[in-house]
């Protein structure tokens, strides 16, 4: 959308109000829905998922760059998961001060001790980026993080293009509506899970979604379930409590839950400490990891997605460990890295602490957590680091350069919130899938994207923390 036309639309108040109603109706029509916060376990009343009124301009070159590097990130995550020595080295300091990561690592060690039963590995990940304008005018892509566990919104992302197409058509922007990119990551995500199920080799076995007690984003998961059912692959939904009560392993370590054999455990819960509400939940996780079922992800892939691993990968020479004699791939992956700094005890960590305390607005302080709402910014960095700067507790975090994204203007639609023009920042994620059996990579694909936009008044992101709005890129 040309800048002049976009600005003209943004200033047309009566048209904006009309388009907002079109957006809501279109969202309902296309199943772009979430449950209400006040009734997270009921679909009796639902609402449209939060969305931007207009798609956001994105440089085509950066979109293609991120899409092309995704298969290399898939390979990287998979190679890390197969390198226990690297995981031990990378996480050695973190697990001494972060109890949650330590518990996960203990399960990882137990699995290695007992021996890997399952040679089939399936990975569903998403690499998230922002882009910033450099002093020379060049726009560069910078990775925020790579998510390897419970990667969400792949289902609901498939519904966003049609919503924005409808809005643009009503706004008289027919040509622009045709520029919205088709996007259906749910198909690709389900295809990878289906391939793992097929390789498992039992048509009677099911794919088990390991889910939370409360699921506001239920539609997102149901869309992927629907794709699996198209292939006559049965799915069940269970919580940690259900595994504790009715899960068991037979003499061959096959996993049964409620007397149903489980071919694939698809984790959509288990990435935060509060997900494990008792020791029984941890025991259930260990039982699943030690079973013959294919895990999506398995415990080593879960650990490969930690912030500490992200920081270690940015150190000189580390990528070459995973891509030996492949300098072009190393260059493409490294080109997306933002500045990352260790907070381990010692001179290097002391230097990073000093930088952060001196100029906190230049950095983000990241704990080993997923799901949004965990990062620390600005003066809060001084408060947190000031308390632990001389303590090993600082090793629970990493420090990252704060990306300075290119701002845009848009209207943000969310139930119960006033419609107003906002200064916005966007991030773009790409979904990657891979399936490996033994040493053979059976599948390695980039299967779609997810774009989210927030008001610039919010530091952190994530739809689960209530500040992000689903969006579409309009390439230029």
What is residue 4's predicted lDDT score, i.e. its pLDDT? 62
Q: Give rounded-to-5 percent helix, strand, coil for the chain.
A: 45, 25, 30
Between the CA of residue 470 and those of 11, 53, 185, what are the distances in Å?
22, 10, 14
Task: Identify the CATH class of 339-402.
Answer: alpha beta
User: What is the three-class DSSP state of 366?
Assistant: strand
- Residue 300 parent element (H or E): helix 299-304
Give the C-alpha separation, 87 to 314, whole Å.
15
Low-confidence ranges of the chain (pLDDT < 50): 463-465
- Residue 46 parent element (H or E): strand 46-48
Give the C-alpha separation, 457 to 21, whole Å.
25
CB-based contact 296:302 (threshold 8 Å): no
| 213-258 pLDDT per residue, tens | 888 889 999 999 999 999 999 999 999 999 999 999 999 999 999 9
What is residue 5's predicted lDDT score, i.e. its pLDDT? 63
What is residue 324's predicted lDDT score, i.e. its pLDDT? 98
pTM: 0.95
What is residue 2's predicted lDDT score, i.e. its pLDDT? 65
Domain residues of the chain, as ranges? 3-338+403-475, 339-402
The token duo for 61 is 């070159």
What is residue 41's predicted lDDT score, i.e. its pLDDT? 84
């Amino acid at each position: 959308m040309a800048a002049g036309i976009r600005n003209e639309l943004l200033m047309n108040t009566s048209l904006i109000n009309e388009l907002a109603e079109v957006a809501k109706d279109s969202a309902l029509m296309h199943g772009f829905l979430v449950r209400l916060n006040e009734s997270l376990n009921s679909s009796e009343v639902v609402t449209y998922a939060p969305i931007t009124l207009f798609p956001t301009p994105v440089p085509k070159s950066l979109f293609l760059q991120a899409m092309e590097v995704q298969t290399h990130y898939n390979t990287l995550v998979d190679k890390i998961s197969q390198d226990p020595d690297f995981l031990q080295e990378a996480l050695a300091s973190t697990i001494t001060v972060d109890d949650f990561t330590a518990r996960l690592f203990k399960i990882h060690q137990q699995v290695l001790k007992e021996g890997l039963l399952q040679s089939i590995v399936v990975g569903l990940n998403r690499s998230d980026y922002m882009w910033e304008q450099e002093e020379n005018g060049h726009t560069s892509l910078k990775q925020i993080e790579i998510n390897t566990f419970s990667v969400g919104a792949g289902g609901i992302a498939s519904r966003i293009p049609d919503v924005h197409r409808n809005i643009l058509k009503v706004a008289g922007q027919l040509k622009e509506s045709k520029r919205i990119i088709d996007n259906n990551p749910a198909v690709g995500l389900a295809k990878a899970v289906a391939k793992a199920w097929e390789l498992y080799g039992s048509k009677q076995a099911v794919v088990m979604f390991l889910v939370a007690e409360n699921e506001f984003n239920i539609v997102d998961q149901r869309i992927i379930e629907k794709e699996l059912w198209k292939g006559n692959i049965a799915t069940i939904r269970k919580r940690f409590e259900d595994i504790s009560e009715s899960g068991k392993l037979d003499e061959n370590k096959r996993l049964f839950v409620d007397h149903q054999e489980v071919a694939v455990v698809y984790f959509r819960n288990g990435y935060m400490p509060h997900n494990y509400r008792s020791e029984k939940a941890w025991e259930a996780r260990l039982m699943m990891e030690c079973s013959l079922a294919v895990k999506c992800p398995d415990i080593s892939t879960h650990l490969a997605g930690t912030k500490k691993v992200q920081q270690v990968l940015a150190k000189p020479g580390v990528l070459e460990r995973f891509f030996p004699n492949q300098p072009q791939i190393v260059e493409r992956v490294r080109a997306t890295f933002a500045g990352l700094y260790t907070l381990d005890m010692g001179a290097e960590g002391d230097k990073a602490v000093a930088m952060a305390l001196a100029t906190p607005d230049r950095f983000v302080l990241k704990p080993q957590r997923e799901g949004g709402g965990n990062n620390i910014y600005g003066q809060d960095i001084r408060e947190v680091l000031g308390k632990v700067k001389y303590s090993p507790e600082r090793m629970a975090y990493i420090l990252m350069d704060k990306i300075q994204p290119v701002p845009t203007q848009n209207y943000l639609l969310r139930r119960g919130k006033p419609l107003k023009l906002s200064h916005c920042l966007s991030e773009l994620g790409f979904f990657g899938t891979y399936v490996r059996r033994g040493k053979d990579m059976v599948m390695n694909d980039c299967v779609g994207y997810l774009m989210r936009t927030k008001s610039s008044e919010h530091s952190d992101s994530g739809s689960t923390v209530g500040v992000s709005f689903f969006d579409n890129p309009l390439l230029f």
